[in-house]
Amino acid sequence: MARKPPSPPSDSRPSGRRPAAATDRKGPPRPAKGPGKPGGKPGGRPARTPEPTPAEGASPDGDRIAKVMARAGVASRRDAEKMIAEGRVRVNGKPIASPALNVTARDKVEVDGKAISAPEPARLWLYHKPSGLVTTTRDEQGRRTIFDALPEDLPRVMTVGRLDLNSEGLLLLTNDGGIKRRLELPSTGWQRRYRVRVKGAPKDEDFAALREGITLDGETFQPMQVTLDRQQGANAWATVGLREGKNREIRRAMEAVGLSVNRLIRISYGPFQLGQLKAGEVEEVRPKIMRDQLGLEAETPPPAKPVRRVRKPRNS
The string of pLDDT tens digits covering residues 231-246 is 999 999 999 999 887 8
- Average pLDDT of the segment spanning 45-71: 60
Kindly tell me the sign of the dihedral angle through the C-alpha atoms of 132, 135, 137, 140: negative
Strands (E), 149-290: 158-160, 168-174, 192-199, 214-216, 219-221, 225-232, 235-242, 261-269, 272-273, 282-284
pTM above 0.75, yes or no: no
Residue 96 per-residue DSSP state: -
pLDDT beyond 90 at 91: yes
- Distance in angstroms (rounded) separating the CA atoms of residues 288 and 95: 38
pLDDT beyond 60 at 78: yes
Number of H helices, E strands in the chain: 7, 17
pLDDT at 198: 98
229, 237 contact by CB (below 8 A): yes
Look up residue 191 and give its amino acid.
Q
pLDDT beyond 50 at 37: no
Mean per-residue pLDDT of the chain: 80
pLDDT at 92: 94
Considering the chain, what percentage of its residues have pLDDT values greater than 70?
75
Helical axes 287-294 vs 177-184, angle rounded to 10°: 50
pLDDT beyond 90 at 145: yes
Residue 119 per-residue DSSP state: P
With 0-12 CB in 10 A as exposed, 13-18 as middle and 19+ as buried, what is 198? buried
Highest mean pLDDT among 120-124, 228-232, 310-314: 228-232
Kindly tell me the sign of the dihedral angle through the C-alpha atoms of 286, 292, 295, 296: positive
204 flagged as catalytic:
no
Backbone angles phi, psi at 114, to 5 degrees: -115, 135
- Distance in angstroms (rounded) separating the CA atoms of residues 65 and 102: 6
HSE (side-chain half, CA atoms, 13 Å) at 50 = 6
pLDDT band at 45 (very low <50, low <70, confident <90, very high): low
Where is average pLDDT lowest: 28-42, 72-86, 141-155? Answer: 28-42
pLDDT beyond 80 at 105: yes
- Distance in angstroms (rounded) separating the CA atoms of residues 118 and 302: 8
Question: Active-site residue among 79, 107, 164, 229?
Answer: 164
pLDDT band at 85 (very low <50, low <70, confident <90, very high): very high
Torsion of CA 309, 310, 313, 314, to 10 degrees: -10
Strands (E), 42-141: 63-64, 89-91, 94-95, 102-103, 109-111, 114-115, 124-129
Residue 98 per-residue DSSP state: -
Residue 146 CB coordination number (10 Å) = 21
pLDDT beyond 50 at 22: no
pLDDT at 253: 95
pLDDT band at 18 (very low <50, low <70, confident <90, very high): very low
Q: Could you give the residue ranges of the DSSP H alpha helices within 191-265?
A: 208-212, 249-256
